[in-house]
């Protein structure tokens, strides 16, 4: 007998990345800097001292306390997860199963799939022509469908953060939970965490992958009202964050000066890279993240020419509103220079 998935899952496309390696890898919005050796040694010492034959702390208590402190909230406002995708899935399972999730398009590509995985129906709302969030249209759709709202701010792949007035307008009109995925926290001039005390139906998501530079650890966390945290905690499996991940994120969270310095370096490189791209006649969209969205004459051809020269970026030209666009992670100064040189050469070939 053939076993078939339920209809929503059967229609999903598996997440595929295509080319995954190149000498200059600027396609996944990773932090260009690894943890310093002394911090790695601190983590390894903690792991050597811990029993590996026992389960880790069930709710990652010490890690939770560390990231709560970094967010300026009490620990009961935080739930640590196995990456922010687990956080998104758990929130949808808790508040949206059997219902609708309203979300901007284009936006974080995993969010619609996670809505389907949770037994909900994703409902896309187009961004404005300037690639900013249309709060009025999102709120209207949320009211119509009695839906959970999901917004990434800064948005991926566009790089723009929703301004405080836009998010407040949405929060004031949304009939239920509003999830703001702040994966690119630190790179934006403001944080939606500032709105938490006024809106108990707001849940903010953060990840260790970007500002902390810990994509390999796979840790995220939900920051929300304790009632939301408690409800989602009932859905999550116990011991969901492994020993290595807990120790690594705890150590990084207790070094805010290191994180702040990394963010400053990336933001400075982001502005330098943007200026270099503009000097080549490339359209560069405003960014509040650790990547740039650019528009070129032929995205697919440019992507291929860059890859020939050892530079891997992300082709997002098939996304709504993003014809001709590529997404480029801000790398190290050397990586960014290599990208600019490869792009210059690609343009010369195309002429």
- Residue 231 sits in the same domain as residue 243: yes
- Residue 56 sits in the same domain as residue 193: yes
Task: Give me the sign of the Cα torsion angle 262, 267, 270, 276.
Answer: negative
DSSP 194: G
pLDDT of residue 351: 56
User: Is 165 domain-assigned?
Assistant: yes
SS3 category, 347: helix
Mean of per-residue pLDDT scores for the chain: 96
Domain termination site, one of 201, 227, 256: 256
- Residue 80 sits in the same domain as residue 223: yes
Domain termination site, one of 256, 290, 312: 256
- Residue 178 sits in the same domain as residue 102: yes
- Residue 12 sits in the same domain as residue 49: no
Domain count for the chain: 2
When pLDDT is cut at 50, 70 and 90, the band that residue 211 belongs to is very high
Domain of 288, CATH number, reads 3.90.1150.10
User: Is 18 domain-assigned?
Assistant: yes
Checking if the pLDDT of 195 tops 90, the result is: yes
- Residue 135 sits in the same domain as residue 12: no
When pLDDT is cut at 50, 70 and 90, the band that residue 165 belongs to is very high
- Residue 213 sits in the same domain as residue 329: no
- Residue 78 sits in the same domain as residue 197: yes
Helix axes 61-71, 243-253, angle to 10 degrees: 30
Residue 19: domain span: 7-34+258-350
For 234, counting Cβ atoms within 10 Å of its Cβ (0-12 exposed, 13-18 middle, 19+ buried), the class is exposed
- Residue 170 sits in the same domain as residue 241: yes
Domain termination site, one of 234, 256, 278: 256
DSSP 146-169: T-EEEEESS-TTT-PPPPHHHHHH
- Residue 309 sits in the same domain as residue 346: yes
User: Is 1 domain-assigned?
Assistant: no
User: Is 2 domain-assigned?
Assistant: no
pLDDT of residue 2: 81
pLDDT tens for 72-131 read: 999 999 999 999 999 999 999 999 999 999 999 999 999 999 999 999 999 999 999 999
């Amino acid at each position: 007998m053939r076993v078939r998935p339920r209809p929503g899952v059967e229609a999903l496309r598996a997440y595929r990345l295509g080319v995954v390696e190149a000498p200059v890898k600027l396609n996944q919005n990773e932090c260009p800097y690894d943890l310093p050796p002394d911090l790695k040694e601190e983590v390894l010492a903690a792991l050597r001292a811990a029993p590996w034959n026992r389960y880790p702390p069930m709710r990652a208590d010490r890690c939770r306390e560390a990231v709560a402190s970094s967010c300026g909230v009490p620990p009961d406002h935080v739930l640590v997860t196995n990456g922010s995708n687990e956080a998104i899935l758990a929130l949808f399972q808790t508040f949206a199963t059997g219902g609708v999730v309203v979300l901007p398009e284009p936006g974080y590509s995993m969010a619609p799939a996670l809505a389907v995985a949770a037994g909900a129906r994703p409902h896309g709302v187009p961004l404005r022509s300037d690639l900013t969030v249309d709060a009025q249209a999102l709120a209207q759709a949320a009211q119509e469908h009695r839906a959970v709202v999901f917004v990434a701010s800064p948005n991926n792949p566009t790089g723009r953060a929703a301004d405080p007035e836009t998010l407040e307008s949405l929060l004031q009109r949304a009939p239920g939970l509003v999830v703001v995925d702040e994966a690119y926290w630190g790179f934006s001039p403001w944080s939606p965490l500032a709105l938490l005390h006024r809106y108990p139906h707001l849940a903010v998501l953060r990840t260790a992958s970007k500002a902390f530079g810990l994509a390999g650890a796979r840790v995220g966390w939900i920051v929300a009202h304790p009632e939301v945290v408690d409800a989602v905690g009932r859905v999550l499996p116990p011991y969901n964050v492994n020993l290595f991940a807990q120790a690594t994120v705890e150590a990084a969270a207790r070094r805010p000066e290191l994180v702040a310095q990394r963010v400053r370096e990336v933001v400075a490189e982001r502005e330098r890279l943007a200026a270099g791209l503009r000097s080549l006649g490339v359209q560069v969209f405003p960014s509040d993240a650790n990547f740039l969205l650019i528009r070129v004459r032929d995205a697919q051809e440019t992507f291929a020419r860059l890859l020939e020269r050892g530079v891997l970026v992300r082709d997002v030209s098939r996304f709504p509103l993003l014809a001709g666009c590529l997404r480029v992670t801000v790398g190290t100064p050397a990586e960014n220079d290599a990208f600019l040189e490869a792009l210059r050469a690609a343009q010369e070939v195309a002429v």
